[in-house]
């Protein structure tokens, strides 16, 4: 057999092997199957899009969680939180530092980091202010979390659009690709300056999830994000015609009043 035939045979074998790998999981061009895993990345490497390492993320976040800022206090609280190891086991698609960041964002401890971050996002967008790296890392972590758990509902979509979580993933859209708004039973539908077609009401069967807070406030994100993210609630049903989703909370007969909501969340994240 000539060397030319050998070379052609070897080439065909290599091509077939590559196609086989690609067909198995669709991720030959990158370790992580992003929207376009074969696109170029900033370092000029084609075909490989890696997540930042945990140490790299931790370094970026630590630079912005400095002194006695709201972020620093919440970040330190997340580091000590006894739930961190179990959350790392549950959310394997996230780095340890990303989970810590989500936890820090959901804490209702003063001074409020989530409020500080949302104001920063409102004033400077994703690319400036006190938390440029933090905002991008949190947004990307939530996108990855949502893409891996299709049944997890979108976070609150506010009329003011001040929340970092307002627009972040394909599963924050309905069948017509319109943004969907989630809020809770204590909110009047007409109180939101939003196209009715983009409105979704989350109904909490159990008021302990926080749905009884009297007025529209920064707690709205905690009402939805915290219990759903960390496993105390789940979606029971979605009524498309009424634009409602029913969320079932922990089994208890005691309602959480607005006066002790903060204590409830402190207890929740530390139990």
Q: What Rg, from alpha-carbon coordinates, does the chain have?
A: 22
Q: Give pLDDT, residue 231.
A: 44
Q: Give pLDDT, residue 102.
A: 83
Sequence ranges of the domains in the chain: 52-149, 170-271
Q: Give pLDDT, residue 32.
A: 23
Q: Give pLDDT, residue 79.
A: 92
Q: What is the DSSP letter of 104?
A: H
Q: What is the DSSP letter of 112?
A: -
Q: Give pLDDT, residue 143.
A: 63
Q: Give pLDDT, residue 73.
A: 92
Q: Give pLDDT, residue 253.
A: 28
pTM: 0.49
Whole-angstrom distance, CA of residue 69 vs CA of residue 116: 9
Token digits for 244?
A: 């409602």
Q: Give pLDDT, residue 205.
A: 39
Q: Give pLDDT, residue 145.
A: 67
In angstroms, how far apart are the furthest CA atoms of the chain? 86
Q: Give pLDDT, residue 95.
A: 92
- Among 222, 200, 197, residue whose Cα is nearest residue 211: 222
Whole-angstrom distance, CA of residue 180 vs CA of residue 170: 10
**pLDDT tens sequence for the chain (271 residues):** 556 666 566 556 555 554 444 333 322 222 222 222 222 223 333 333 346 788 889 899 988 988 888 999 999 998 998 888 888 888 888 899 998 998 887 776 778 787 788 777 767 777 788 999 998 888 777 667 655 554 444 333 333 333 333 333 333 344 554 434 343 333 333 333 333 333 334 444 333 333 332 233 333 444 444 444 444 444 455 554 444 445 454 433 233 322 233 333 333 333 2
Q: Give pLDDT, residue 124.
A: 78
Q: Give pLDDT, residue 29.
A: 22
């Amino acid at each position: 057999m000539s060397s030319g035939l050998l070379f052609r045979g070897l080439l065909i074998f290599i091509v077939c092997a590559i196609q086989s790998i690609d067909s198995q999981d669709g991720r030959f061009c990158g370790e992580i199957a992003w929207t376009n895993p074969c696109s170029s990345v900033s370092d000029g490497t084609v075909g490989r899009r890696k997540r930042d390492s945990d140490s790299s993320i931790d370094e970026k976040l630590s630079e912005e969680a400095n002194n006695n800022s709201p972020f620093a206090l919440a970040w330190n609280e997340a580091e000590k939180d006894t739930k961190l190891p179990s959350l790392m086991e549950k959310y394997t698609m996230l780095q340890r530092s990303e989970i810590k960041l989500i936890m820090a964002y959901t804490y209702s401890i003063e001074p409020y980091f989530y409020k500080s971050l949302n104001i920063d996002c409102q004033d400077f967008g994703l690319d400036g202010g006190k938390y440029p790296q933090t905002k991008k890392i949190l947004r990307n972590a939530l996108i990855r979390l949502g893409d891996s758990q299709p049944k997890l509902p979108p976070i609150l979509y506010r009329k003011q659009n001040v929340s970092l979580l307002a627009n972040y993933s394909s599963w924050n859209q309905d069948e017509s690709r319109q943004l969907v708004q989630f809020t809770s039973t204590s909110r009047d539908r007409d109180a939101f300056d939003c196209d009715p077609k983009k409105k979704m009401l989350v109904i909490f069967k159990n008021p302990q999830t926080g749905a009884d807070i009297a007025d529209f406030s920064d707690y709205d994100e905690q009402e939805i994000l915290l219990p759903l993210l960390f496993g105390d609630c789940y979606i029971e049903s979605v009524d498309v015609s009424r634009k409602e989703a029913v969320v079932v909370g922990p089994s208890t007969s005691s309602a959480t009043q607005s006066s002790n909501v903060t204590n409830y969340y402190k207890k929740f994240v530390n139990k």
